[in-house]
Amino acid sequence: MSYIYRTNVPNNVFDIYLKDLGYAELKVLLVVIRQTYGWKDTRTNSYKRWDWISQQFFVKKTGLSQRAVSTAIAKLINKQLVLVKNGNGKMLLEASERQREAKLYFSCILEPQSCEAKHTKSVKKLHTTIIKHTKMYSEESSQGLKRIQFPK
């Protein structure tokens, strides 16, 4: 594996997931991306698929507490953005399973096909609200809202 001086973050992180991620989740996800997409095999020209990342490494890199890291990992697993397995290759979905393991291996799931499939939500109909105001405002001024004057 060779070190890459830049890490390409998949556009899906910004386009699809960013609005749904919390502060700690984003930090943890970026560490996983850095540790996987940030390394490239020079023979096959492919990125690292899995990496062993310790709890202390997450704490050191993110500046978060151990509890915040554990919670963020659990949320990322629930959102199906990160996979975690043990040394034998068994997927670890529950926090209790992860606590018993000495080494945890992390991977990102950020392929375009899976993102679109995961984020297809049904459209919820909303009630139409009719606004009956005689005073109109605009957000075009640098001072915030200004009143729009209509000719009488």
| pLDDT of 48 | 87
H or E element in which residue 83 lies: strand 82-85
Q: Is the pLDDT of residue 34 over 90?
A: yes
- Give me the CATH code for the 2-124 domain, please: 1.10.10.10
- Gyration radius from the chain CA atoms: 22
Q: Read off the pLDDT band of 147 (50, 70, 90).
A: low
Structure tokens at 147: 């009143």
Between 2-6, 14-18, 98-102, the lowest mean confidence (pLDDT) is in: 2-6
How far apart CA 34 and CA 60 sit, in angstroms, is: 14
Distance CA 33, CA 28 (A): 9
Count how many Cα atoms sit within 13 Å of the Cα of residue 46 in the half-sphere of its side chain.
4
The more confident residue out of 20 and 123 is: 20
Nearest to 27 by CA among 68, 83, 85, 86: 68
Yes or no: say if 29 and 13 are a contact pair by the CB < 8 Å rule. yes
| 87-126 tens-digit pLDDT | 999 999 988 888 888 899 999 987 654 434 444 455 555 6
Domain ranges of the chain: 2-124
